Amino acid sequence: MRNFALLYTMVDMEKNAAQRPAHIAFLKGLQAENKIRTAWKFPDYQPGLLHSVMICNADSREDVLAWFSQDPVVQAGARTIEVRDAEQGIFGDRS
């Protein structure tokens, strides 16, 4: 298993709000499967800005992209996603 960062960027606030309950349920499912190690969100939810970062455990970047492509906020066009390789920093995991 390797670490990958899933980056959400906000696109549409109204669509995001409408999909929030389904999105939260989706994330809880991934967390129950130990696919998400930690998550951080930014309080400024304006369109075009980075919304949140999740560190995921997976075999490949394609796995993470496949999981999060099924997220209701992504499918509704409320957010875009990017998956990047992630390495633990010098301070270790403080989640």
Tokens of 92: 């270790």
Domain membership flag for residue 22 = yes
Q: Does the structure show a pLDDT above 70 at 95? A: no
Asked if 83 contacts 25 with a C-beta cutoff of 8 angstroms, the reply is no
The per-residue pLDDT for 91 is 72
Give the total number of structural domains in the chain: 1
The per-residue pLDDT for 46 is 87
Domain membership flag for residue 92 = no
Starting at the edge strand that comes first in sequence, how are the strands of the sheet with 50-58 ordered? 36-41, 50-58, 2-10, 79-85
Nearest-CA neighbor of 89 among 3, 1, 25?
Answer: 3
Domain membership flag for residue 68 = yes
For residue 12, give its domain range: 2-85
Domain membership flag for residue 90 = no
How much of the chain is in helix, strand and coil states, percent to nearest 5? 35, 35, 35
Average pLDDT over residues 60-89: 96
Residue 77 corresponds to which amino acid? G
